[in-house]
Structure 1
Amino acid sequence: MPAHIHLLDQPTKYLFFTGKGGVGKTSVSTAVSIALADAGKKVLLVSTDAASNLDEMLGIELRNQPVAVPGVPRLQVLNIDPDAAAVDYRARVVQQMGPQASDQDIATVREQLSGACTTEIATFDEFSNLLSHGGAAYDHVVFDTAPTGHTLRLLSLPKAWSGFLEGNDRGASCLGPHSGLKMQEQLFNAALAALSDVTQTTVVLVARPDKGALDEAARTSDELRALGLTNQRLVVNAVFHRTHADDPIAAAIEALGRKALDEMPAALRPLVANHIPLRAVDSVGLPALRGLLAAEPPRTTGAATPAVPAMDHHKLSELVAELAQGERGLIMVMGKGGVGKTTIAAAIALGLVRHGKSVHLSTTDPAAHLTVTLNADVPGLSVGRIDPKAETQKYVDKIVTARAATLTEDEKALLIEDLRSPCTEEVAVFHAFSHVVAQARSSFVVLDTAPTGHSLLLMDATGAYHRQMVREFEGKAAARIVTPLMRLQDADYTRIILVTLPESTPVSQAAALQDDLRRAQIEPFAWVVNKSLLATGTADPLLQARLDSERTQMERVAAHTRHAVLVVPWTAQPPIGPSALEALLG
């Protein structure tokens, strides 16, 4: 067992791995799970990420029941499937209604249970079960979580739902009768107790030697501490040490990493920390995963190799020029967490402004980095954010104001009680999203979306709303309605830009996202490959060892898109501020 990973010395039963998208949470959590199992412990590795790539890393098919991992005795893997969890949740709530419930009552509840917030609480229900008696058969339960914003939402739910249910046994929420939720109250309270118990739960903040990733880890640390999760550790993944002094790209990568670590936020400094070196290969397959935590990884030769000529590539400026041929439209930038969606969205927005367009740049990401990335006011560019808390309060105020005049004081109190449901936030965010989509009727709107899993839940809500509107306006009126989903399906109105890194997992997840979008009759417009080392001409042996894999990924991307592949080279200067962002356009 690699002794330098301190959290393996005396691990608690529950281990949560969280952090900014793309920092390597899945790789590190899987490597730790394998190390614990190799040491004789019975381990369950759980993914709470709707866009999990555990199946690709381990070469197995994930299910919503524990699956054994070939080659790792005592390790099982479970993916919390949101759709399967929602089906099971609906069945339990309907069954609880009893034989006295009429067909109309059951139909009403089924309709209440059709939204995205039901999927969220059903997923949380599975999560809570594992934190109570569900993990009893294992020595350790390791959670590979979704990117930070979504994870904070998940980990805050035990407290939110416990508070909502306390003393509340009336009415119906968007999740069906409160009695159906009350039956879970004991489970939610047990989950909250387990999360807050330092002898049971450790939160591992995963970052890279990057200012943005470390800053987000610090913010997450503070927010988790406020929720009562105080037992925290830090893992800094992919720390690069160059093997010779002559390559400027390698020198710049190493210097940036060292600077980020030297200037680590104060909130992280007291935490027990481990550094994992950058490896020559992606963490796919058991040998690579076991090697990730090895004390002495295979070394590349220290001799300099001839620089590979920088790859000829289509530039982001070409995409912007193509988009600028129109007068208005919605540009949605989507992809796995950590691939640089915010950076690419901001660069596209700035490029459109330089073409003389009026642009609104917004984000649906709970972690919201747009203002930090732009770091300046730009004439012709307005910047906004769909803030879940602000949108929820606005939505609640609107509903209460609209209905207050017709309600008694008791009925008004019941309405406000219902609107305290945490899933109200999902409805409010969807309404705000719909408003932003509609803005593109008269100008350009560039929308930086949340990491894949969270975005897919928003798309589910969009689809559910569309189906509801079609049912309500069935007949001649249906021809006159235009729903947000219809705008997303309109290729003249919406352009979807998929962003990926030239690595196996981000490319696979972007391809899976494209498949999901196509099933909703939404066709992605173009792919952008961000942070390409192949486009820099590096000669460092370790970085060179990663280039063969990058070439393969470029070929995979080309096979997935009908548009020319856009490539953004890795840059030594952090892409913060208008000048640095415009430099990415090429």
Structure 2
Amino acid sequence: EELRSLGLANQRLAINGVFHASDPNDPIAQAIEALGREAMATMPDTLAQLPRDEVPLRAFDTVGLPALRALLGASVRPEPVEGLAGFGQAQAERKASLPAEPLSRMADELAAKGHGLIMVMGKGGVGKTTIAAALAVGLVQRGHSVHLTTTDPAAHVADTLNGSLEGLKVGRIDPKAETEAYIAKIMASKGKDLDEQGRALLLEDLQSPCTEEVAVFHAFSRVVNTARSAFVVLDTAPTGHSLLLMDATGAYHRQMTQQYETKADGSSASGLHIVTPLMRLQDASITHVVIVTLPETTPVTQAAALQDDLRRAHIEPWAWVINKSIAASGTSDPLLRARLEGERTQTQRIADGLAKRTFVLPWLAQPPVGVEALGTLVAVGAKGLS
């Protein structure tokens, strides 16, 4: 629609990765095909009216020249690309499965800590909200009170839990609402003694983008502080808001440490012990960062870059979660089974040094919506990738 408004009307729709199940008795394959059919059946009219090309799902990862040459031709497996992302043919052919643990074990270990902040991070579309919601439900099932909060406006899974489980509180850090509340607070306090012109100038200053950073930071700080005595599971947004939170936290950390001239032991010249939100994020006894990815080349590379960014802030991720694992699903579909080589390459890449701990969630035939379905994912004894 945006292109058309600019006069670029010569458009064509290419739908990539179209999957057709070959085994009518395989629930995983049938669910994946149904998901694609639904997406194409419900696409907006502006897309449905375009001339269309459909590219079928291939048995190989479409990375490298041989794969790209084979993509639009016959479904022939290309020759392996030696040295791709540091993983050569010998490693790509390794048949050993990933030493990953079920999500239930993660819930067990977190519950044993009694309290803390669990930050679930990752790029958009990898299933952060599902993982965060499942962990929150699992902690409640293990006897803890949990505050599940999100900065993602599209976190519908979390919304379905609100008020559905005793001991679980669901909230949202809404940048717009937080900014409006912050401006109202400042105007009521700092602006109450100003004349009309002064209030107008103050309000103009508060309309700057910096105000949103400060407002969201205040909300984030409240969440971090709550984790000192309870469990807080934070489902972070894939873009923008996460970086905003981290940047604001870092700026506040630098301001506070400079203001109070902290010593090596954390005390200040005035005798105060300064603990900033960034310090709490860096404290592995309080904060556990969980990075979620899919077992594919690009999501794993993006997750590795996110981990590098966190480490530059001296925040060490606690574990990775591989979501939607075909290998762990038990599918018998020939095409999906053929794709397992690419998944093994990525899962082995994670195991060979990216993650200190790795947990796995299989590709599920039914989306886990609601307390009961999410609770099943983290139930004691739930299976992972063997």
Shared fold (TM-score, shorter chain, > 0.5): yes
Following superposition, the deviation at residue 353 of structure 1 comes to 0.3
Give, in whole Å, the separation in 2 of the partners of 1:577 and 1:284: 37
Task: Name the structure 1 match of 2:232.
Answer: 445
Partner of 1:412: 199
Q: Report whether the alignment pairs 1:198 with 2:5.
A: yes
1:388 aligns with 2:175: yes
Residues 12-33 of structure 1: CA deviation (Å, up to 9, x unaligned): 9x86xxxxxxxxxxxxxxxxxx
Residue 256 of structure 1 deviates from its aligned partner by 3.4
Q: Structure 1 residue 415: deviation in Å?
A: 1.2
Q: Percent identity?
A: 61
Q: 1:283 to 1:366 in 2, by over 3 A?
A: farther
Could you list the runs of 5+ residues in structure 2 that have no partner in the other structure?
A: 78-94, 262-267
CA distance in 2, matches of 1:289, 1:200: 31
Confirm or deny that 1:269 pairs with 2:45.
Answer: yes
Deviation of residue 541 (structure 1)? 2.6
Cα 1:425/1:573, change in 2 over 3 Å: same
For 1:577, the equivalent position in structure 2 comes to 370
Residues 50-86 of structure 1 deviation map (CA, whole Å, 9 limit, x = unaligned): xxxxxxxxxxxxxxxxxxxxxxxxxxxxxxxxxxxxx
Paired with 1:483 and 1:517, the residues of 2 have a C-alpha distance of 17
The one of 37, 45, 69 equivalent to 1:258 is 37
Mapping of residues 20-419 of structure 1, within 5 Å:
198-199=5-6, 237-262=16-41, 264=42, 268-271=44-47, 272=49, 274=52, 275-286=54-65, 288=67, 294=72, 296=73, 298=75, 313-372=100-159, 374=161, 377-419=164-206
Which structure 1 segments of 5+ residues have no match? Answer: 1-11, 16-196, 203-230, 301-307
**Aligned-residue offset at 1:560:** 3.0
* Deviation (angstroms), 1:452: 5.3
SS in 2 for 1:557: helix
SS of residue paired to 1:395: helix
Would you say the 8 A contact 1:529–1:568 is kept in 2? yes
What is the deviation of 1:531? Answer: 0.5
Cα 1:532–1:438 shift into 2, 3 Å:
same
Aligned mate of 1:431, from 190, 203, 218: 218
Instruction: Give the whole-Å Cα distance in 2 for the aligned partners of 1:372 and 1:289.
Output: 40
Matched with 1:122 is none
Note if contact 1:358-1:443 (Cα within 8 Å) is conserved in structure 2: yes
Q: Could you say which residue in structure 1 is the equivalent of 2:308?
A: 515
Higher mean Cα deviation, 385-394 or 364-373?
Answer: 364-373
User: Aligned to 1:468, which of 248, 255, 271?
Assistant: 255
1:542 matched to 2:335? yes
Per-residue CA deviation, residues 277-307 of structure 1 (Å, 9 max, x unaligned), is 3333334235545766x3x55267xxxxxxx
Between 1 and 2, higher relative CO (CA 8 Å, sep ≥ 6) is seen in 2
Partners in 2 of 1:232 and 1:468 — Cα distance? 51
Aligned partners of 1:232, 1:429: CA distance in 2, in Å? 40
Deviation larger for 312-321 or 368-377:
368-377
Report the residue type matching 1:546 in the other structure: R
Deviation at 1:432, TM superposition (A): 1.0
Match of 1:183 in 2: none
Which of 517, 521, 532 is equivalent to 2:325? 532
Aligned to 1:135: none
Q: Which moved more, 1:463-472 or 1:448-457?
A: 448-457
Q: Which amino acid is 1:555 matched to? A: Q
Distance of 1:579 and 1:281 partners within structure 2: 35
> Residue 492 of structure 1 aligns to a residue in which SS?
coil
Q: Is the 8 A contact 2:325 2:360 kept in 1?
A: yes
Structure 2 distance, partners of 1:291, 1:477, is 68
Distance 1:510 1:478 in 2: 41
Greater mean alpha carbon deviation, residues 422-431 or residues 513-522: 422-431
- CA deviations 1:470-513 (Å, max 9, x no partner) are 12222424852211101100111111111111111111111111
Aligned length: 353
CA shift at 1:522, angstroms? Answer: 0.9
Deviation of the 1:406 alpha carbon: 3.4
Indicate the residue corresponding to 2:82 in structure 1.
none
1:38 matched to which residue of 2?
A: none
RMSD (CA atoms): 3.0
State TM-score, norm by structure 1: 0.55
